[in-house]
Amino acid sequence: MDICKDLIGGQWVGASDHGSFETRDPAHVDAVLATFPSATAADAERAVAAAAEAFPGWAATPAPARGAILFRAAELVDERFEEIATTLTREEGKTLAEARGEVTRARDILRYYAGEGWRRAGEVLPANAPSAMLFSKREPLGVVAVITPWNFPIAIPAWKIAPALAYGNAVVFKPASATPLTALKLVECLQDAGLPAGVLNFVTGSGAAVGETLAASPFVGGLTFTGSHGTGAGIYRKATEHFARVHLEMGGKNPTIILDDAELGLAVKLAVMGGFGLTGQSCTATSRVIVEDGIADRFAAALAEAAAALRVGDGLDEGVQMGPAVSADQLATDLDYIAIGKKDGAELLAGGGRAGAGGHFLQPTVFDHVDAGSRLAQDEIFGPVVGIVRARDLDDAIAKANSVGYGLAASVVTDDLRRALTFVDRIEAGVVKVNEPTTGLALQAPFGGFKLSSANTFKEQGPSAIEFYTRTKTVYVTYG
Active site residues: 249, 283
Contact indicator for 119, 109 with CB cutoff of 8 Å: no
User: What is the total residue count of the chain?
Assistant: 480
Q: For residue 236, what is the enclosing H or E element?
A: helix 229-240
Task: Report the C-alpha gap between 90 and 99 in whole angstroms.
Answer: 10
Phi, psi of 432 (to 5 degrees): -125, 130
Strand arrangement, sheet containing 28-37: 2-3, 28-37, 20-25
Q: Which helix (H) or strand (E) holds 164?
A: helix 155-166
The candidate with the shortest Cα–Cα distance to 430, out of 451, 449, 456, is: 449
The count of C-alpha atoms lying within 13 angstroms of the C-alpha of 446, restricted to the half-sphere facing its C-beta, is 16
Q: What is the DSSP string of 142-163?
A: SEEEEE--SSSTTHHHHHHHHH
Q: How far apart are CA 383 and CA 201, in angstroms?
A: 32
End-to-end CA distance of the chain, in Å? 69
* DSSP state letters, 375-392: HHHHS---SSEEEEEEES
Q: How many other C-beta atoms can be found within 10 angstroms of the C-beta atom of residue 429?
A: 24
**Alpha-carbon distance 177 to 459, whole Å?**
25
DSSP conformational letter for 298: H
Quick one: angle between helices 63-79 and 81-92, nearest 10?
A: 70
Q: d(Cα 480, Cα 475) in Å, to the nearest integer? A: 16
Residues forming a β-bridge with 143: 170
Burial of 231 (0-12, 13-18, 19+ CB in 10 A): middle
- Helices 264-276 & 293-309, crossing angle to 10 degrees? 50
Helix (H, G, I), strand (E, B) or coil at 188: helix
d(CA 344, CA 301): 21
Closest CA to 146 of 133, 159, 134, 127: 159
> Which candidate, 249, 230, 252, places its Cα nearest to that of 428?
252
At residue 251, the 3 state secondary structure works out as coil
Report the alpha-carbon distance of residue 111 to residue 94 in Å, rounded: 24
